[in-house]
Structure 1
Amino acid sequence: MDPTDTATLRARLVDVLECYHPDRTACPHDGFQAAVHPETGDRYDDRHHLVASARFLANTSLGVQIDGPDWCAAAAEQAAAFLRSAHHDAASGGYDWLVDDETRDDRRVCYGHAFVLLGYARAVEAGFDFEAELRAVANLLVEQFFESEYDLCASEFDADFETGSAYRGQNANMHACEAFLAAHRATRDRDHLDRAIAIARALTVERATDDHSIDDLADVPLIWEHYDADWTPDFEYNRSDPRDQFRPWGYQPGHHLEWAKLLGQIDRRLEHVAPDHEAREWLCDRGIALFDAAVEMGWDETLGGLAYTVAPDGEPVVEDTYGWAIAEGIGAAATLFERRDDVRFRETYQGLWEFARTHLDAPQGDFYQAVTPTNEAVIDSDGPAVEPGYHPIGACLAGLAAFGEDPRGE
């Protein structure tokens, strides 16, 4: 595989889309199911997670934009209809976190709402008439979650938005930044871009911490995952649960890579719409610093692979390599190469694709969820699944933007 060849990247993107073809994933009540076994293709869970439902809309909309499989247009319409009918609560305006045939989890979680905004933004870019839905969820994120004194979003509320959790998390804000950036691409509404920049600055610059003892990164502020209500780092949160699905303890090299990609993408957006914006003075430099920090603290020079989490003293906590983290590394390397034309990012991009091809490519077309430190596949079929190929699709998209032409027209 030549990951700089646009035809190859497009074909790989379509392979991941086909892994979640409606014939395999459609459910009787009109949703799609991300819980597809990576080796057999069997479906193993019928619960619907908000993140997965929104990612189906994002993925299939992108399939339309790249003139991908014919089924993507109808699937995108169906995914949007399912968000409205199964997840959306008209009374509060919020979206339920988890839905199945008998029960539902009606918490209002920022992380999930960020993906709803991203899904509608991708759909609008693809030509679907979902501008009203995009505006509604963007307004909801601002009115209910965004805390202007911090330029960051709260994490979670009850069904009526009456009672909120004291927990604050960087992960939800990273995806809110991603979603507002996508909303700007779709609408050209400058408020969305300004909010994406504000979130990025607040987390990657203002609240990054040097409260670690990783020798080779002594001068590099890193991004902690967990905070209390006034955005003070909480270094004990989930320390006893380092494999929590959404909130593991420790620094996450994969999230540093994801931020590196996002900062480069914001810089690219500003180059098109506001080339003299002051944020361009720091976006790519900070992205490169985060990229290098992720490699330094997480990469296994002997076996390859990227530790999932790392303690403040630099010791790995969870050593498994997650497919999403490698995909974000690919996306970051591609984006930074496109921004700075530095050959080391191109070489890293090619090396990460080689690792993915060798160790992460699963028989059905998606990446394995993870591999062990000795590169044996980890297959978690407990559900509920949230990853219908969103991250490897993003890796392909970043490669297309860097080595060919962004199929979305940027």
Structure 2
Amino acid sequence: MPQWTTSRMHRVWLDNEALRLLEFVSAADHPATGFGWLGADGSVVAEQGVHTWVTARMTHVFALAHLDGVPGAGRLADHGVQALRGALRDDEHGGWFAALNADGSPSDDRKDAYQHAFVLLAASSAALAGRPGADALLTDIGNVIEERFWDEATGRCREGGTRDWGATEDYRGANSNMHMVEAFLAAADATGSSVWARRALRIAEFFVHEVAGTRGWRLPEHFTTDWEPVADYNSDDRAHPFRPYGVTVGHVLEWARLLVNLETSLEKAPDWLLADAEAMFSFAVERGWSVDGAEGFVYTLDYDDTPVVRARMHWVVAEAIAVAAVLGLRTGDERYEHWYRVWWDHAAAHLIDTEKGSWHHELDAVSLGVPEGATWSGKPDAYHAYQTVLLPRLPLAGSLAGALAKG
């Protein structure tokens, strides 16, 4: 069967979709403090203020676009770097605020691992793109990660806490550690230091090989400070956007892709990385895809595989497409080509918004229409979708920026 990923027309389609996404999110450029939250029509939602994770992810996207030769993207990446070195950074206590009000004052001064993982990713991608100020940002965030988040004894990252670092959160999370793996691999490419990739391996070995691997690939998301799973965490807020109850199908898919990226970045990669990636992929397909009578991935599962939150999130399909492309390239197995096509067809039919731009971020589980006031409002950023249109035409690498920087 001919491969879509090597098809000339498919690659043209991917390029066109990338440019369409960039056109939409370019409107998020906030005059002073980073990138704003975009509504469904692409206009900035002023009352949302500026979130560090949005600004960092968009800086990463524009750095990738610059590396890919898109005129004007470098200027937008520079804007993000300046915001991350300026208004979003806490000059008094170090680290980064979670969010700012529209006037630039902190609306959320927590210091958590999730935000800081994306600052490291943005800094690494911008540094690989040669953007001014990126190297200094990379040094700064690298020092904060090592001082405040990385735990050498366990080989995992702690969560954050109060603005002055005086109290840390009584919680440990898989989601923030997963994004630290992604950011560490980008940092390894940007700095040339293998220590970042070795740290990423230690994180992945615990969460995937030890925890998920002994639970039939059902990965708990939430842990105590002693790294014991907390099964009922957020049982009263099951559709939480960052810390939902139960097993998050999209994270299982995302981990699978990151294991292949990690394997590529290591000189001597353990065999379990590929084996576990394929097992995680199979679990997500069998337990998460169209399991409740409607097309699409459910958001979360209970620990017995019963769907909990059935809403369809765009980022889950984006990660499914990405890992199918990566595993297909890595193994040559035609089943990944099959799913790659199925999920792109699904995205084209239901998620890609050809009228207003970008992708619908969330769909109702029954009608596959756009819900109002659910987990996600508007279309905050293009991180997942943009990476998904890039990955299928890149060689295997530790990071997207690393692959593009090597040409």
TM-score of the aligned structures, taking structure 1 as reference length: 0.90
CA-to-aligned-CA distance 1:26-79 (integer Å, 9 cap, x gap): 334252213232xx33332341111001011101101101111x2211111111
Kindly report which structure 2 residues correspond to 1:247-258, keeping only aligned pairs within 5 A, or say none.
247-258=243-254
Give the Cα separation in 2 of the matches to 1:148 and 1:208: 22
Kindly report which structure 2 residues correspond to 1:57-96, keeping only aligned pairs within 5 A, or say none.
57-68=59-70, 70-96=71-97
Specify the SS of the correspondent of 2:394.
Answer: helix
Kindly report which structure 2 residues correspond to 1:69-148, keeping only aligned pairs within 5 A, or say none.
70-100=71-101, 101=103, 102-129=105-132, 130-148=134-152
8 Å CA contact 2:300–2:310 kept in 1: the answer is yes
Per the alignment, residue 329 of structure 1 pairs with 320
Q: Does 1:25 align with 2:25?
A: no
State the 1:328 CA deviation. Answer: 0.5
Kindly report which structure 2 residues correspond to 1:151-166, keeping only aligned pairs within 5 A, or say none.
151-166=155-170
Per the alignment, residue 216 of structure 1 pairs with none
Per the alignment, residue 391 of structure 1 pairs with 384
| More deviation, 85-94/382-391 | 382-391
CA-to-aligned-CA distance 1:285-320 (integer Å, 9 cap, x gap): 100101111111111154320010000111100011
Q: Does 1:265 align with 2:261?
A: yes
Per the alignment, residue 393 of structure 2 pairs with 400
Q: Does 1:297 align with 2:298?
A: no
Give the Cα separation in 2 of the matches to 1:163 and 1:201: 28
Matched residue type, 2:346: F
| More deviation, 377-386/342-351 | 377-386
Per the alignment, residue 49 of structure 1 pairs with 51
8 Å CA contact 1:368–1:377 kept in 2: the answer is yes
State the 1:269 CA deviation. Answer: 2.1
Taking structure 1 as reference, are residues 114 and 292 closer, same or farther at Cα in structure 2, changes over 3 Å only?
Answer: same
Q: Does 1:358 align with 2:363?
A: no
Per the alignment, residue 239 of structure 1 pairs with 235
Taking structure 1 as reference, are residues 353 and 7 closer, same or farther at Cα in structure 2, changes over 3 Å only?
Answer: same
The count of residues paired between Structure 1 and Structure 2 equals 389
8 Å CA contact 2:221–2:247 kept in 1: the answer is yes
Taking structure 1 as reference, are residues 333 and 358 closer, same or farther at Cα in structure 2, changes over 3 Å only?
Answer: same
TM-score of the aligned structures, taking structure 2 as reference length: 0.90
8 Å CA contact 1:256–1:291 kept in 2: the answer is yes
8 Å CA contact 2:358–2:379 kept in 1: the answer is no
Give the Cα separation in 2 of the matches to 1:230 and 1:139: 24
Taking structure 1 as reference, are residues 380 and 43 closer, same or farther at Cα in structure 2, changes over 3 Å only?
Answer: farther
Kindly report which structure 2 residues correspond to 1:279-318, keeping only aligned pairs within 5 A, or say none.
279-300=269-290, 302-318=293-309
Give the Cα separation in 2 of the matches to 1:319 and 1:384: 17
Taking structure 1 as reference, are residues 184 and 386 closer, same or farther at Cα in structure 2, changes over 3 Å only?
Answer: farther
CA-to-aligned-CA distance 1:342-399 (integer Å, 9 cap, x gap): 1101111111111001000113332111112231123559978784100011111211
Specify the SS of the correspondent of 2:64.
Answer: helix
Tell me how large the CA RMSD over aligned residues is. Answer: 2.1
| More deviation, 121-130/332-341 | 121-130
8 Å CA contact 2:218–2:303 kept in 1: the answer is no
Specify the SS of the correspondent of 2:39.
Answer: coil
Taking structure 1 as reference, are residues 367 and 236 closer, same or farther at Cα in structure 2, changes over 3 Å only?
Answer: same
Taking structure 1 as reference, are residues 128 and 409 closer, same or farther at Cα in structure 2, changes over 3 Å only?
Answer: same
CA-to-aligned-CA distance 1:205-245 (integer Å, 9 cap, x gap): 1232645xxxxxxxx23211101111100001101110112
8 Å CA contact 2:81–2:137 kept in 1: the answer is no
8 Å CA contact 1:306–1:321 kept in 2: the answer is yes
1:228 is matched with which residue: 206, 224, 247?
224
Give the Cα separation in 2 of the matches to 1:393 and 1:367: 10
Matched residue type, 2:135: E
8 Å CA contact 1:369–1:380 kept in 2: the answer is no
